[in-house]
Amino acid sequence: MKKLLFLLFISLQIQAQKPLTAILGAFSQEVKLLEDSLSNKKEVNLKGIRFLTGELRGRSVVVALTGVGKVNAAMTTSILLMKWNPEQLIFTGIAGGIHPDLQPGDIVIAKATFEHDFGKIDSTGFTLRATRNPAYIELNPIYFPADEILLKKAQSISNKTPYKSVGNRNLKVMTGTIATGDVFVNSNQKVEELRLKYGADATEMEGAAVAQVCYQQKIPCLVIRSISDNANSKAHLDMKTFEFVAAYNSASLVLGILGSL
């Protein structure tokens, strides 16, 4: 009997240590495909936030909505990391395209993310500054690098992933830099600034905040975004038209990555 209980204990310990991948999106459309594909689905509510656990492509996962903006994204990420301590984290969703070659439905796999609204303003204008890790009083990098393993897996699987197309054009998948800020960019002038001054290829409102939390907690992280608009004066209209296709394409690539882990 004691031997049986010991084996049961060991079995439970092994199950508890099974590698788990965290997947986050800012709003429901961004994770709908993933939630609908979950097997062995279980809902967990923490601090009012709904998390779904289960399996995707044979991988144990936890999926959640962060809500829009950097604070919501960082809060949800922190709660998730404390509860589940995932092996890696992937953020999926839509973004405004900044690179001139990007169109709705295309994908940017972030090799780096940065917070374009964190810095200082003086008489000469705005200057980016690095955030600081409060635990060790160390400066973070301005550009948070993607995890190399996740980045390479995303790149290798991207041309084998089923996507939804927009019109007759071939969908483009690009490895690039994503700018994050607490503003919905709807301005040609801002697009030009983010592109020329900071080298951004797309802009959104959560990725770098999640990347910062993961960087400070040493959790491998990757941000994937599909283009819903071009962040210009028509962005608010284009987003409503293309957000479903963009959200689907980003989530579809995440499924492909999970299958390769």
Distance of alpha carbon 183 from alpha carbon 160, whole angstroms: 34
**Cα 225 from Cα 222, distance rounded (Å):** 10
Average pLDDT, the chain: 91
Q: Averaged over 130-153, what is the pLDDT?
A: 96
Which residue in 30, 115, 238, 243 is the catalytic one?
Answer: 30
How would residue 104 be classed by pLDDT, with cut points 50, 70 and 90?
A: very high
Reported as a single tens digit per residue, the pLDDT across 44-90 is 999 999 999 999 999 999 999 999 999 999 999 999 999 999 999 99
Annotated active-site residue in 201, 229, 238, 243? 229
Cα gap 23→80, rounded to integer Å: 10
Is the per-residue pLDDT at 223 higher than 60?
A: yes
Q: For residue 231, what pLDDT is reported?
A: 67
Question: For tokens 């601090």, what's the residue?
Answer: 47
Summarised one tens digit per residue, pLDDT across range 113-141 is: 999 999 999 999 999 999 999 988 999 99
Say what percent of the chain tops pLDDT 70. Answer: 90
Catalytic residue status for 229: yes
d(CA 228, CA 230): 7
What is the model's pLDDT at position 139? 96
Longest Cα–Cα distance of the chain, Å, equals: 77
Crossing angle of the two packed helices 235-260 and 148-157, in degrees rounded to 10: 100
Element spanning 54, H or E: strand 49-56
3-state secondary structure of 153: helix
Q: What is the pTM of this model?
A: 0.89
Q: What is the pLDDT of residue 186?
A: 86
Q: Is residue 9 scored above 60 in pLDDT?
A: no
Query: Does 243 qualify as catalytic in the annotation?
Result: no
- The DSSP bridge partners found for residue 64 are 24, 51
| Rounded CA separation 69/4 (Å) | 50
Summarize pLDDT for 181-202 with one digit per residue, the tens: 999 998 889 999 999 999 999 9
Cβ proximity of 109 and 173 under 8 Å: yes
